[in-house]
Amino acid sequence: MDEKLRGKLVDVLGKRLNRQLLYYLDICARCSICKDACHQYTTTKDVQYLPAHRAELLRRVYKTYFGWASKLVPALYEGKQIDDDFLDELYKATYSCTGCRRCMVYCPYGIDTTQILAVAKEILLAAGKGPELLAMLADVAIEKGENIDLFKEAIIATLQETEKELQEKVGDPKASIPIDKEGADILYVALAGTHTIIPAAIVFHLAGVDWTLSMFEAANYGYFLGDVAKAKAIAQRIVDEAKRLHVKGVVLAECGHAYRVMKVLQEVWAQEKYPFEVSSILQVVARYVEEGRIKVDPSRIQGSVTYHDPCQIGRNGGIFEEPRNVLRHICSDFREMTPNRERNWCCGGGGGLVAQPDLEEFRMRTGERKAHQIRQTEAEIVVSPCENCRLQIEGLNERYGLGVRVSSLMDVLVQALGPVVTPVSDLVPVEVG
């Protein structure tokens, strides 16, 4: 590696050293209590996945270049130079992490390993070593934002089909999927495909909500990539759309990272205050159910149900009770996983891992904790309001022979809406009793 690039990479690190990061880099005692918190370390026993070790890689570089005492005797800290071997090791430790932040819960100091890995990602990207697939997916999303007029016709054409499907389901030819509607109360941001559009459209129709569908997908590959500029541009498409339409609130489909990006990160990245509320569809439907705005018939969901807290929705997003409240209304046998809520085990598919085919075997292996947890509940249906989690749990279901049905919350909710709606789940067929 030439000195110029090395200097540039050290610069990337230096520019990112905010106060919290300095704390994290300075105080870790390497007690490695985090090892038992990480699903990847506990299932592989491979030290490169031990959270403290992942962070230590960057810390060793930090010690070499920053702080006069450690620069004096870098050997005390096994100080490392940035070179190609280091970057390869860093890549493995960084892009394998699902970013679940379970280690942060158990760390006596509360060190946020993902913050350290975020800097590692920026260094890797600056060295041209980011995962190409994630970068490509991010670029496609940004391009769509820049040329939305070219896409609009096609979106509207597709939606006509989806709208017909909706009208059949609810038995009302006037039911619609509005798009680009100014002054609507809600801008609903779905995922790619129609499986998160139809259930939401049914609920909005039955609850008489004034809503409009976003032309963009919620998913943000820029965030997984760790490229803040790209992540920001992708999220900004939705912010701009919401501002243009003067909606009161942006509601995100069942997607973990999209919720965290919009709720927690984007406002800080863009340094602006949203003129609208951001919520998850989970919070919205929980309110409708509680208020009786939509009528549910619990007898329609047969079988025991358990709930998987997606890391970005629960621990990192703060939504624990709303989906549980909905489930308690619509099913008679609800079971908690152990542990749950902020202590829940990561499914193993987060952080963009699901989108990277070369990590599939690793995902399945490190999902063993989740598989075990699901099996222990002896539940028949696993509900999880995150697409990544669902795809991963589907995989685990097959790999570990769990024999469960995996569903989004909206799909089970729609089934509990009574005879007016026929089942819609095209992601996973759920039996109706």
Partner 1 sequence: MDWFSYLVAGVMVYVAVVVFVLGMAYRFYQWAKVPKTSVRLAVFPKPANRAAKWFVAVKNALIFPQVIEVDPKMWLFSMLFHLGLLGAFVGHLRLLHEFTPLVGALGSEGMERLSFWGGSTMGIVLSVAVVYLLVRRMKSPYKDVSVPEDYILLLLILAVVTMGNHLRFFGDVPTADYRAYLQSLLAFKPAFPAALAASSIKSALVLHVFLANLLLIYFPFGKLVHVVGTFATNLVRSD
Residue 36 sits in the site that holds partner 1 (CB under 8 A): yes
Residue 11 sits in the site that holds partner 1 (CB under 8 A): no
Angle CA 316–306–192, to nearest 5: 60
| Nearest distance in Å: CB 95, partner 1 | 20
Quick one: 424 exposed, middle or buried, by C-beta within 10 A (0-12, 13-18, 19+)? Answer: buried
Interacting residues with partner 1 between 305 and 334 (CB under 8 A)? 314-318, 320
Q: Which residue, 106 or 151, is less far from partner 1 as judged by CB?
A: 106
Stretch of 5-13, 74-82, 167-175, 298-306 contacting partner 1, by CB under 8 A: 74-82
Total residues at the site for partner 1 (CB under 8 A)? 56
Stretch of 64-72, 210-218, 273-281, 322-330 contacting partner 1, by CB under 8 A: 64-72
Cβ atoms of 188 and 212 within 8 Å: the answer is yes
Residue 106 sits in the site that holds partner 1 (CB under 8 A): yes
Residue 363 sits in the site that holds partner 1 (CB under 8 A): no
Q: Which of 26, 168, 172, 361 contacts partner 1 by CB under 8 A?
A: 26
Q: Which residue, 314 or 395, is less far from partner 1 as judged by CB?
A: 314
Residue 85 sits in the site that holds partner 1 (CB under 8 A): no
Residue 20 sits in the site that holds partner 1 (CB under 8 A): yes
Q: Which of 1, 6, 12, 60 contacts partner 1 by CB under 8 A?
A: 60
Interacting residues with partner 1 between 221 and 280 (CB under 8 A)? 264-265, 268
Nearest to 97 by CA among 323, 346, 280: 346
19's CB contacts (< 8 A; 6+ apart) are none
- The strand order across the sheet containing 381-383 reads 334-335, 305-307, 381-383, 405-407
Angle CA 197–199–202, to nearest 5: 105
Q: Which residue, 31 or 150, is less far from partner 1 as judged by CB?
A: 31
Stretch of 13-21, 209-217, 355-363, 424-432 contacting partner 1, by CB under 8 A: 13-21
Q: Which residue, 53 or 370, is less far from partner 1 as judged by CB?
A: 53
Residue 105 sits in the site that holds partner 1 (CB under 8 A): yes
Q: How far apart are CA 197 and CA 155, in angstroms?
A: 13
Cβ atoms of 281 and 191 within 8 Å: the answer is no
Q: How far apart are CA 122 and CA 16, in angstroms?
A: 9
Residue 101 sits in the site that holds partner 1 (CB under 8 A): yes
**φ, ψ at 276 (rounded to 5°):** -145, 165
What element of type H or E holds 19? helix 19-27
Angle CA 88–91–95, to nearest 5: 160
| Nearest distance in Å: CB 46, partner 1 | 9
Q: Which residue, 31 or 136, is less far from partner 1 as judged by CB?
A: 31
Q: Which residue, 68 or 358, is less far from partner 1 as judged by CB?
A: 68
Interface with partner 1 by CB under 8 A: which residues?
A: 17-24, 26-33, 35-37, 41, 45, 47, 50, 52-53, 56, 60, 67, 69-70, 75-78, 101, 104-106, 108-112, 115, 264-265, 268, 314-318, 320, 341-343
